[in-house]
Structure 1
Amino acid sequence: MPPTPRLAVGDEAPAFSLPDADGNTVSLGDFTGRKLVVYFYPAASTPGCTKQACDFRDSLAELNEAGLDVVGISPDKPEKLAKFRDAEGLTFPLLSDPDRTVLTAWGAFGEKSMYGKTVQGVIRSTFVVDEKGKIEVAQYNVKATGHVAKLRRDLAV
């Protein structure tokens, strides 16, 4: 299988319209005029994904004050996202991409190494989209723990 194409700084962010944990449609265009952190994670309620989501939750006020909104996207169904949101007190949208179309368009689904094996799956990735819909930051294969703190340092937030 060929490697998944990756986004780079300056690229147009691929549009999306996905259901959130409550089944409401959230689109990239909803955030026009604001910066948006879009992060892709493998599965709700798993240890690494929970740590990452809670780090975003705990940093959300500072990110919002700096003009950044946050959305998380995974292949989970809205019902699972709702349980995850409620269990962890998450206050930003979690979006459902079960057919992995958006994950693939953003280069966040494809071959990755897991426990020494090459597998197909979600590539933990984080992007910052600027006010005009261009990629400002593109980070692939990020670590679940410590990643939000690094992103805040990189963005001086």
Structure 2
Amino acid sequence: MARHPLIGKDAPPISLPGADGETHTVTPGAEGVPIALFFYPKSGSFGCTKEACQFRDALAEKDLFKRTKVDIVGISSDPVDKQKEFVEKQKLTYPVLSDAQGEARKAYHVGKGLFGLAETARVTFFIDSKGLVRDVLDTTVNYSAHVKFVTKWLDKLEAEDKKAAEAPAPEEGETPATAPSAPEQPTLEELGRAAEHVQA
């Protein structure tokens, strides 16, 4: 499968009505926390219900999700009233947004799923705390892979942050004693003189 065009780029901000009737604006990077943005085909279908509930349970039960303060946002093309029913029935604790006009799908390059049979493919975007799209999982059939995908990336981000925190920061005006100084590179003029000597 071809690499998604948004990987390594800033995630587009979106503003959509939520199941609660309010307009939600998602601006990746603004809050300084990672975001898992998952597009799903249909509120209330078997796979979508399982996926949505797995994200709900991960937020409630997994320490990793709590520590990283990850934002979970669900998006489908369902109208607000259908999503409201879905959110209330499944007791979802995160925003579920209605992309009835397809604006978010267009911004995030999300096509149809199941060879065109599903209005929206099941696609999860993992966006880091700076608003950069780090990875994308596109699998409509394997609904349970999406929480695992987000868990893997949260682990990776934590490891990156830990490594960055452990790296000794040099004092202002000083170079770290442990860092070997790079050898000076010869200038073009010096290289030219050396070449002349060789030719002579």
TM-score of the superposed pair, with normalisation by structure 1: 0.84
User: Contact between 1:130 and 1:136, CA under 8 Å: does it hold in 2?
Assistant: yes
Q: SS of 1:70's equivalent?
A: strand
Instruction: Provide the residue aligned with 1:44 in structure 2.
Output: 43
Residue 10 (1) aligns with residue 8 (2): yes
Tell me how far apart the structure 2 counterparts of residues 76 and 127 of structure 1 sit (CA, whole Å).
19
User: Post-superposition shift, 1:108?
Assistant: 1.5
Tell me how far apart the structure 2 counterparts of residues 40 and 152 of structure 1 sit (CA, whole Å).
17
Residue 24 (1) aligns with residue 26 (2): no
Task: Judge which range, 95-104 or 128-137, deviates more.
Answer: 128-137
User: Post-superposition shift, 1:10?
Assistant: 1.2
Q: SS of 1:123's equivalent?
A: coil
With over 3 angstroms needed to count, the CA separation of the structure-2 counterparts of 1:140 and 1:66, relative to structure 1, is same
Tell me how far apart the structure 2 counterparts of residues 86 and 69 of structure 1 sit (CA, whole Å).
19
Tell me how far apart the structure 1 counterparts of residues 67 and 119 of structure 2 sit (CA, whole Å).
33
User: Post-superposition shift, 1:91?
Assistant: 0.4
Higher relative CO (Cα under 8 Å, sequence separation at least 6) belongs to: 1
User: Post-superposition shift, 1:75?
Assistant: 0.4
Instruction: Provide the residue aligned with 2:126 in structure 1.
Output: 128
Deviations 1:48-98 (A, max 9, x none): 000000000000133232221100000011111111011011100000000
Gaps of 5+ in 1: none
Instruction: Provide the residue aligned with 1:149 in structure 2.
Output: 148
Gaps of 5+ in 2: 159-200
Higher helix share: 2
Task: Judge which range, 23-32 or 125-134, deviates more.
Answer: 23-32
Aligned residue pairs: how many? 149
With over 3 angstroms needed to count, the CA separation of the structure-2 counterparts of 1:136 and 1:56, relative to structure 1, is same
Instruction: Provide the residue aligned with 2:93 in structure 1.
Output: 91
Tell me how far apart the structure 1 counterparts of residues 114 and 90 of structure 2 sit (CA, whole Å).
28
User: Post-superposition shift, 1:120?
Assistant: 6.6
Task: Judge which range, 132-141 or 54-63, deviates more.
Answer: 132-141
Higher strand share: 1
TM-score of the superposed pair, with normalisation by structure 2: 0.67
Q: SS of 2:124's equivalent?
A: strand
Larger Rg: 2
Give the share of equivalent positions with the same residue, in percent. 33
User: Contact between 2:36 and 2:71, CA under 8 Å: does it hold in 1?
Assistant: yes
